[in-house]
Structure 1
Amino acid sequence: MTLLRLFPQGPTDSETALRMLVAHAIPGAEEADIPGRTYTRLLPHAGASVRVTVAFTEDHVAVDLPDEIPDPDGLAVPIRRWLDLDSDTTRIAGALAADPMIRPLVEHRPGIRLIGYPDEFEAVTATVVGQLVSLAAARTFMGRLVAAYGTPAAGLKALPAPQDLAVIPDAELKAAIGLTGARTRTLRAVAQKWADGFTLAHLTADEARRALLALPGIGPWTADYLTVRALQHPDTFAPGDLVACRALGSVTADQARTTAERWAPWRSYGLMHLWADAAYAAPGRGGTRAWKPDPDLTLLPEPTSSPCRAAIAPRR
């Protein structure tokens, strides 16, 4: 095997990064070993799918690659981008800690990174498939998609390309995955959009959000979530996210949005801190005891305030 050592800018909360990857791992496409601190998947490289194993150490990320692949160093840039290794977490933590409300979370996990996806179409597909269901159900649906249409390589399967997914009839796709008819149509619309050459890359967060909302079946929460997870924009937020609203004291979406404005220009990292404390902590280490929401945010919502949607809670 060929070993790449990737050193991040600033500290890294490797435990949260690994647990986030594990929580979303697709059966048949990804393998994870929490005790061994490794995560394995296929990545596109030089026209092929390469099996890559990422190991999180105290000060760097070690990447195992097959010896026979050409230009192994060429994978360093996409992996660094996927794992957000070039962001200065010291600077980000310092800025967020200026807000006393979120400071306890920042001090507990100063190396939070904006873990994304190696491929934006994969991010959008996984999010659409997982709308309005639990994370466990979303992984099951994605596992069925991979099993039915994935491309085998090195003992795993790569997700189908958008042009391949776009030509599958709705009835066949619905039967293979088990989605509702509406969700199947959204998935096909997304596949067709990306098959036509669309990409979120180089769009602003507002432009990306508008483009996503223009697709059938994609609403505000999905668009907001994808600006964080697919676009990896550092300063967006998902005010309708139930986990975030609960972490802030069971507030409304409007109140959550107002609070997050204090974290600019790193609102996405603030959201990651809320998610990490609620969903990605190791057993016995979640729910930071020093963390308390702003008491001003626990007031009953104004009649014009929009509530968070309970149905979207599981999708972190």
Structure 2
Amino acid sequence: MDVPGGLPADPLRRFLVAHAVPGAERFDAATGTHERVVPTAAGPVAAAVVLGAGERCERVLVRAPAPVLGEVAGLVRRWLDLDGGVAAAEAHLRADPSLAALVAARPGLRVPRSVSGAETALLTVLGQQVSLAAARTFAGRLVAAHGRPAGEGLLAFPDPGALAAAGPDALRAVTGLTGARSRALHALAELLAGGLDLDAAREAGEGPAARERLLEVRGVGPWTADCVALRVLGEDDAFLPGDLVLRAAMGRVSPAQALARAQGWRPWRGYALLHLWTAHAFAGVTGG
């Protein structure tokens, strides 16, 4: 698949490695190949996305079983934001002096989205108030306990129904989460198993309503809901003013200051967020 305008490959590779769920995903740094389980109408399948090892990626190779290759390729396009509004976002954000250098340093930076709304939402709850490394550990334990084989030695992330049936105490026992976080994970699994289809909400343009339903879950706050809005619901203007990494990248501002400063970035605050996150994670160009 061609990548319109290309993208900076290193930030994407680092993002994939940092978020890879043990047992369900793996990354080969030598070839820039990310393997993971992808949901399809025929069931979960193991697929591979080859980004290469170069500085920029102009073409993405997708490997998957032939009968579902087209479906998987479509999910990968959405996941990697290949058809997103990156050109319009960058044209708008370059007008802000605090972002212009970041956009110039990494043109084509996309917002990593999702291949499964339910999976991403549940993983976001696992990542609340902990490091990425801790979140991956929790997720790996969850997959080991409740995942299903999907080929190539990989396990599919557990269905919300399976997690809902397990109950919060069992989820706590297998993951090591706190009681409150286990209850939040279980409550979200029940909501998703009960009919909240985040991917369908995105397609129907019902992201704001879906976000409100997420906020009704005890233990799911604005940070989690906004992460899901950005990555799953396709809300390009989603913003996380309370995020610690974002606030540090903006010069250790308060959430209120971050929100106020970002008003001029609308309706592309999500892309600004990714540039600031990425700049903070890399040595070199900084903004804010």
Does the TM-score normalized on the shorter chain lie above 0.5?
A: yes
Q: Secondary structure at the match of 1:222?
A: helix
The sequence identity of aligned pairs, in percent, is 44
Match of 1:297 in 2: none
CA distance in 2, matches of 1:169, 1:241: 30
Give the secondary structure class of the aligned counterpart of 1:93.
helix
User: Which residue of the partner structure matches residue 46 of structure 2?
Assistant: 51
Count of residues in correspondence between the two structures: 279
CA contact (8 A) 1:163 1:192 kept: yes
The 1:188–1:203 alpha-carbon spacing in structure 2 relative to 1, beyond 3 Å, is farther
1:271 aligns with 2:266: no
The residue number in structure 2 matching 1:251 is: 253
The Cα of 1:203 is off from its aligned counterpart by 4.8
What is the aligned counterpart of 2:113 among 94, 112, 116? Answer: 116
Give 1:263 deviation, angstroms.
Answer: 1.0
Within 2, Cα distance between the matches of 1:46 and 1:212?
25
Aligned match of 2:263? 261
- Aligned residue in 1 for 2:35: 40
1:239–1:253 CA contact under 8 A, matched in 2: yes
CA RMSD of aligned residues (A): 1.5
Structure 2: any 5+ residue segments left out of the alignment?
none
Counterpart secondary structure, 2:165: coil
- The Cα of 1:176 is off from its aligned counterpart by 0.8
Contact in 1 for aligned 2:4/2:58 (Cα 8 Å): no
Q: Distance in 2 between matches of 1:146 and 1:93?
A: 37
Q: Residue 310 of structure 1 corresponds to which residue in structure 2? A: none
8 A Cα contact 1:46 1:70, kept in partner: no
The code of the aligned residue for 1:18 comes to R
1:141 & 1:177 partners in 2: Cα distance?
5
Shift of 1:71: 4.3
Letter in 1 for 2:27: A
TM-score with structure 2 length normalisation? 0.92
Match of 1:186 in 2: 184
Cα distance in structure 1, aligned partners of 2:214 and 2:28 = 34
Q: Give the 3-state SS of the residue equivalent to 1:112 in structure 2.
A: coil
Change (3 A) 1:292 1:45: closer
Q: Distance in 2 between matches of 1:165 and 1:137?
A: 20
Q: Which runs of 5+ in 1 are unaligned?
A: 1-5, 294-316
The 1-side partners of 2:148 and 2:68 are apart by 23
1:160 aligns with 2:162: no
Q: Which residue of 2 aligns with 1:24?
A: 19
Residue by residue over 1:243-278, the C-alpha shift from the partner in whole angstroms, topping out at 9 and shown as x without a partner, is 111111111101101111111111100000011112
Q: Structure 1-normalised TM-score?
A: 0.84
Pick one of 232, 235, 239 that aligns with 1:233.
235
Corresponding position of 2:89: 92
Distance 1:232 1:276 in 2: 19
2:5 counterpart residue number: 10
Task: Tell me how far 1:208 sits from its aligned partner.
Answer: 3.2
For 1:167 and 1:161, the matched residues in 2 are separated by 10
In the aligned structure 1, how far is the partner of 2:30 from the partner of 2:265? 34
Quote the residue 2:208 is aligned against: 206
Shift of 1:70: 1.2
Counterpart of 1:11 in 2: which secondary structure?
A: strand
SS of the residue 1:103 aligns to:
helix
Moved more, 257-266 or 138-147: 257-266
Cross-structure match for 2:122:
125
* 1:128 counterpart letter in structure 2: V
Bigger share in helix:
2
Q: Please say if 1:215 is aligned against 2:204.
A: no
- Which of these two proteins has the greater Rg computed from alpha carbons? 1
